[in-house]
Structure formats: C-alpha cells, structure tokens
Amino acid sequence: MSHVNLAIFDLDGTLLDSLEDLANSANQMLMEAGYLPHEVRCYRQFVGDGARTLVERILPESARRSEVIESCLRSYLAIYAKRWDEKSRAYEGILDLLDALEARGIRVAVLSNKPHEATVRCVHRFFGDRRWVQVLGHREGHPRKPDPGGVHEILATAGVGPDRAVYLGDTDTDMQTAVAAGVWPVGVLWGFRDREELEAHGARAVVARPLQLLDLLDRA
C-alpha cells in the first residue's frame, strides 16, 4: 500500500463519533410521534445507510408505511439539524492522522450516506478548513453507498486510479462500497461495528487506532 496517495473516509463512525447525537435526535422524533425510543447502543446497527433507512429501521414494523416514514424523516432531519453537534466529536487520533497524511502528501476526501448538506456542515465544524479533495454526502438523484458512484466521482476529481486509493469505514456498507469501486477497503474498529462484519464484507485490512493506517501505508 506504499503507492497510495488518496485516502477516502466515511464520516459517522469513522472520522466522527456522532452516535449519541444521532440517537438522541432519532429518539426525540420517535417520542414526539408517539413511539418508544431505543437505547443508544442499538443505533450502532441502525445507522450507516442514510437517514431514510435509519427512520425506517427504528419505527415499529406496523408503522413502516411510506407516508409515516416520510413524515418521520422530515421530523428527524429538522431535529438533527438543531442537535447535530451537542455530543459529537472527532475520534481520538483522527486529527493526528489527517495531519500525518497531509505531511506525506496523501490527499483526503469524505464520502458519507448522511445528507450532503449535513455532511459538509459536520466536516467544516469538526475538521476546519483542511484541503479535502471532495466532501460528499447523499444527494438527491445519486445512489447511496454501497453504490461505488461517489468513490468514482472522488477518484475522477483527484485524478487518481482506484489502485492508488484507500477507503476507510466502520460498516459492511463501507467495505462493500470500497470493493465495488476497486479501492483498498480498510475497516476501522473504533466505530459502530466489529471486525467480523468488516472482514466478512471485504476488508483487506482492519485497524484498531487511526495512526495504524500509517503502518499499512508503509508496507511495500
């Protein structure tokens, strides 16, 4: 992996420890709609595939009708827009990793299933004015991960082939995305899922701490 010159990151569960804000916002929506909330830890399995899928997963099965999902989605997005930075923070070691990659001349990008505007807002709030090649969340008219389209778009913007890029993420969706795009899939263990899931869906390496990525990149 010593030839890599682009690192693409998932956002929630990879760069950003945002589980509590996601869970609190979703639980507020549920309670306001008359449904029971879930324990915060349960959201480790609920999140990762976009806001609409999150809402569908947390609703009671009997309530999973399109009109209910759309109404609850609008409510959730409005609540999250107010609560998105109450508890969220960059994972320990992430800022050091981004600094080290920049020092090595390795460019960085973000690809998330979070709505695009929220993705851009989070990246700017927690990671400042770093020189990202591109920051992409889910946009209407574009398929969500695990479709590889977002990775392909970032590669084209960077002028980099897939064999010179890694994708870091914490879920099966992230690993499937990387495999489909032909980039190196690197799973991270500080996020929302476990090693077994990551390896089962194509991770070619798994790291327990952010700076361990540098060891991978040093390997011939």
All residues at 6 or more sequence positions from 156 whose CB lies less than 8 Å from its CB, including other chains: none
Given this model, what pLDDT does residue 219 score?
A: 79
| Catalytic residue (choose from 10, 12, 21, 174) | 10
**Domains contained in the chain, CATH given:** 6-17+88-218 (3.40.50.1000), 19-83 (1.10.150)
Tens of pLDDT, residue by residue, the chain (220 residues)? 668 999 999 999 999 999 999 999 999 999 999 999 999 999 999 998 999 999 999 999 999 999 999 999 999 999 999 999 999 999 999 999 999 999 999 999 999 999 999 999 999 999 988 999 999 999 999 999 999 999 999 999 999 999 999 999 999 999 999 999 999 999 999 999 999 999 999 999 999 999 999 999 987 4
pTM greater than 0.85 (yes/no)? yes
Give residue 1's pLDDT: 62
129 is catalytic: no
Q: What radius of gyration do the chain's Cα atoms show?
A: 17
Q: Which of 104, 90, 129, 69 shows the shortest CA–CA distance to 9?
A: 90
pLDDT attached to residue 220: 47
